[in-house]
Amino acid sequence: MEFSVLWSLSVALLICPLYMGVGVLCEVTCNEERMDMEGGNYTLTKKLEYGSIMIYHCPEGYYPYPALTRLCLKSGTWKPAPRRRPLQQCKMVECPNPLVLESGSVLPVQMQYFVNNKTTYECYSGYSLRGSASRVCQANGKWSGGTPICSRDSGSEDRCADPGIPAGARRSGSSFGIDDKLSYRCDEGLHLLGSKARVCQESGQWTGTEPKCYYKHTYDTALEITEAFGSAIRESLQLAAPIDDTDQEGKKITIDKAGKLNIYIAMDISDSIAEEEFDKARNAVKKLIIKVSSFSVSPNYEIIFFASDVLEVVNIIDFSGDKRKPLEEVLDVLDKFKYDARDNVGTNLNLAFKTILERMAIQKQRNEMLFMEVHHVLIFFTDGAYNMGGSPENTVAKIREAVHMNNKEERDKYLDVYVFGVGSEIFDEDIVPLVTKRNDERHYFKVKNAIELEKTFDEIIDESKIVGLCGLHRNYDSGTADTIRQRYPWMARIDNTHEDGTASKCMGSLVTRRFILTAAHCFKFEDKADKIRVTIGKNQVVKGASRIILHPDYNINGKKNDGIKEFYDYDVALIQLKEDVDISINIRPICIPCTKETSAALRLVGEAITCKQQEQILFKNSLEEVSFISYDKKEQMDQRSDAKLKLQHQLRDNCIGLAATQVEGITPLNLKDVVTDNFLCTGGKQPTRDNVACKGDSGGAVFKDYDEYRTIQVGVISWGTNDLCPGGNSDVKQESSENSRDFHINLFKVVPFLKKYLGNETSDFQPLEFLEN
C-alpha cells in the first residue's frame, strides 16, 4: 500500500484494471475542482489524463497569473498546484520599469506600468536624447520604440556611444572606452534576453546585442520577428544563391561555386505544444520551405518532430549526392505526417539536437571537404521545456565544435542556431544558452502561438531585398493598386507619340533592368526612342528610352499582296532604357524562356538543361493555364485575366482555324501562312471560356506562375479576331465568345532575337544568361 497516501487524496480519481499475475496497474486522473480562473478560462491538452496540460487563456492585454499552465502528474495532482493565494486570475499585462533612464526624467512616475500607459522622456540640460521620446506599453509586454538614452552633448572622449539601460534592467559600468565592459541584469521576475555583458570594441561598436528584460508573458510581435529573422535568413540564402547576382549599385557579385546550405528543422510536438496548434506549426514549416525554395536555392533538409522520441520526417542523408529529394516530396511527407499526442508524455530536447549532431557526423565522415563548404542552419520550435535526456547544452557545444573545426573565428558564420519559443509557457532560461550569439543578430524569438508563427513566416523573407531573381513576386494582393503592383512587379505601360502626332498605348514587361519587351506593332518604323514614355509602378516614369528594336522579320505589310491587310508574325520588340531601373518589391523583371535565370526559377539544376526541357515544363498540358493583365478603366485598376493556351494539335487547329472565317483575307488555304507556328492561341468557349485581351493590352506579357512565387513569361499579346471591348479596354475581364480568338507570339520561337540583345555580353548592362541549346 505504498500509494495509500496518494489514493487518499480526495482530488484523485482511480481507474485500476486488474491484470492476472501482473498486479495492479493504476491510472490516476487529475480533477477540475476549484481550477477556474477569474476573467478567463482554460483548455486541456489530454482531458484529465496523466501528462495533460491545462493552458490558461486571458483576453488581449491580460495574462494568466500566477500559473500560465499546469501539468497533470502521474499522482493525479497538478504541477504547480493551485493555491488559494494568490488566486489564479487574469492580470493586466505590465511593461518593465522605465524609470532607469540616466541623466533625464521619465513621466509619469508610477509603481507599475500597464497596457496603453504612455511615458515620455526628457534629458537634463547638457544631454541630448537618442531613442524614443515617448513610449507606450504594448499588449505583448514591451514598450514601443527604442530605449531612450541621454548622452552628453560635448566633451566625450568615449570610443563607444552610451548604449543606455533597457527598461527593467540594471547596468554596472559606466565608462565607454575601448575594452570597457558593461554588464546587465534584470529586475526580479524578468529574464534577460540578448547579451548579459558587452565590451566596447576599437571599432566603436559594442559586442553582442542589446539586452532586453522579458516577463514570462512577454512576446515578440510577428513584425519584430520578421525583421530580425528575415534579415538573418536572407543573408544565408544569398550566400547560397547559385546564380550571379547584381546588387543595387549594379556591381556584379559572382559566386564561383554555389554555396551549400543545410537546413535542419526540429519541431517539439510533445504536450508542451497543444495538439490543435500542431497543424499550424506544420503549415508554418511548409511556408518557410516553399519560401526558401523561391530563392533559387535548393538546400538539403533534415526535418524532425520530437517528444520523448525523435520522428524523422526527412533525413538529410537522403539528400547527399545526386539523390536530391524534390521539394514536392518533402512537402508531401510533411503533409502525411500524423500527429498523435498520446504517445508523447516526455520531451527530450537533447535527443533532437543529438540526432542533428549525428547527421552532421555522417556527412563529415563521408566527405569532409564538402562538409567544410556547407552552411548549417538549425531552426528549432520548442517551448524549451524538457523532462528527459538532460540539458542539450553539451550537445549544442559539440555541434559547434563539429562545424568550427578548431577555427571558431573563421568558421562561426557556417552555423546558425535559431530557436522559436512557441507555447503557452516558454522556458527562456533553458533556451537562451542554445542559440547562436552574434553581434546585432537575433537568434531567439518568442512567439505567442502557432497562428502568430504562421503569419510570421508569411512575411518573413521579404522579396524586396533580393535582387537578380526574375519573376519573384508576392503571391497575394488585397485589390489595392500597391499590392497588385507587388504581385506583378514587371508590368510596364508604354506611351508612344508617333511622328504624325498620333499616340498609342501598349503594355510591356520588364525583362532585365535595362529592357522592356513588348509588341512590334506598337511602333511605326519611323518612331523615335525619345518619344516613348515607359511607366512602371504606379506613377514611376522611367528615365527614357534609347533604342527601339523590332524583330527583323516583323513586317506588317509582308502579305499585302496576298490580301492580308495586317501580318503580325514576329510581333515582338524590345525597348532599351537609358539606364537601369532599381529593383525593389515593386519593380522586378519577369523570367523569360531559355535563360539560366529561368532554369533556376523552375528549379532545374545542372549544366545540361536545354530550352526544350523548359518548354516541356511550361507547356506540359494540351490546355495550359496562362494569365495576362488588363486595365480596368471603371475601377482604374490593373486586373489579372486568365485564359488557356490550346497547345495540342487538334485543339490548336480548332483554335486558329476560326481566323479563316473571321478575318478578311484569311482562307483555309493561307491560314497556316498567316497564323504561323509562332503564335499561341486562346479564346472561344471550349472547354471553358477564356478572358479576352483588349486593344490597350497589346505587348503585354502572357505569363505562367510557377510554384507560388515565381512568374515566367511565355508569350506577348499580339492580335485578336474580335474586338469585344469596344470602348478600348474598358470592359475588363471581357469573356470570350464562340468566335473570338487571341493570338500571342510564342517566346520560345523568338529566342535568337531575345538572346542577341538581352544576352549581349559586351554591353554596359548585365546580360541575361541564355542556355546553350
Ligand X SMILES: *[C@@H]1O[C@H](CO)[C@@H](O)[C@H](O)[C@H]1NC(C)=O
User: Which residues would be at the binding site for ligand X (CB under 6 A)?
Assistant: 40-41, 57-59, 92, 108, 114, 116-117, 756-757, 760, 762-764
Return left, alpha or beta for 364; rule: phi > 0 is left, psi -120 to 50 is alpha, else beta: alpha
Residue 404: name the closest of 430, 436, 443 by CA: 436
112 or 248: CB nearest ligand X: 112
Residue bearing cell 522586378: 588
CB of 328 to ligand X, least distance (A): 38
**Eight-state DSSP code of residue 396:** H
Query: Alpha-carbon distance 179 to 444, whole Å?
Result: 27
268 as an active site residue: the answer is no
162 or 580: CB nearest ligand X: 580
Helix (H, G, I), strand (E, B) or coil at 534: strand
Residues 208, 209, 215, 217, CA torsion sign: negative
Q: Active-site residue among 521, 569, 736, 744?
A: 521
576 or 740: CB nearest ligand X: 576
CB of 39 to ligand X, least distance (A): 8
CB of 449 to ligand X, least distance (A): 12
57 or 524: CB nearest ligand X: 57
Inter-axis angle of helices 450-459 and 222-240, to 10 degrees?
Answer: 50
Q: Active-site residue among 268, 571, 690, 697?
A: 571
**DSSP per-residue string spanning 360-393:** HHHHHHH-HHHHHHEEEEEEEEE-S--SSS--TH
CB of 106 to ligand X, least distance (A): 12
764 as an active site residue: the answer is no
- φ, ψ (nearest 5 deg) of residue 589: -70, 155
57 or 733: CB nearest ligand X: 57
From residue 568, give the alpha-carbon distance in Å to each of 2, 522, 548, 564, 723. Answer: 94, 11, 17, 10, 16
For the chain, what's the residue count? 773
**DSSP per-residue string spanning 155-189:** ----SSPP----TTEEEE----STT-EEEEEE-TT
From residue 358, give the alpha-carbon distance in Å to each of 314, 351, 391, 399, 402. Answer: 14, 10, 17, 9, 10
Query: Alpha-carbon distance 30 to 73, whole Å?
Result: 8
698 as an active site residue: the answer is yes
118 or 152: CB nearest ligand X: 118
58 or 577: CB nearest ligand X: 58
CB of 64 to ligand X, least distance (A): 10
CB of 97 to ligand X, least distance (A): 14
CB of 276 to ligand X, least distance (A): 14
Query: Alpha-carbon distance 581 to 328, whole Å?
Result: 35
CB of 41 to ligand X, least distance (A): 4
Burial 261-300 (b: 16+ CB within 10 A, else e): bbbbbbbbbbbbbbbebbebbbbbbbbbbbbbbbbbbbbb
CB of 99 to ligand X, least distance (A): 14
Q: Active-site residue among 270, 509, 698, 736?
A: 698
Helix (H, G, I), strand (E, B) or coil at 213: strand
293 or 595: CB nearest ligand X: 595
Query: Alpha-carbon distance 757 to 109, whole Å?
Result: 69
64 or 163: CB nearest ligand X: 64
8 Å CB contact between 467 and 295: no
- φ, ψ (nearest 5 deg) of residue 68: -90, -35
36 or 625: CB nearest ligand X: 36
CB of 243 to ligand X, least distance (A): 22
Q: Which helix (H) or strand (E) holds 751?
A: helix 751-758
**DSSP per-residue string spanning 663-705:** STT--TTTHHHHS-TTEEEEESSSSSPPB---GGGTTPEEEEE
The burial of 557, by beta-carbon neighbours within 10 Å (0-12 exposed, 13-18 middle, 19 or more buried), is given as exposed
114 or 124: CB nearest ligand X: 114
Return left, alpha or beta for 594; rule: phi > 0 is left, psi -120 to 50 is alpha, else beta: left
CB of 594 to ligand X, least distance (A): 17
Query: Alpha-carbon distance 343 to 340, whole Å?
Result: 6
From residue 666, give the alpha-carbon distance in Å to each of 655, 693, 695. Answer: 14, 21, 21
- φ, ψ (nearest 5 deg) of residue 271: -55, -20
Active site residues per annotation:
521, 571, 698
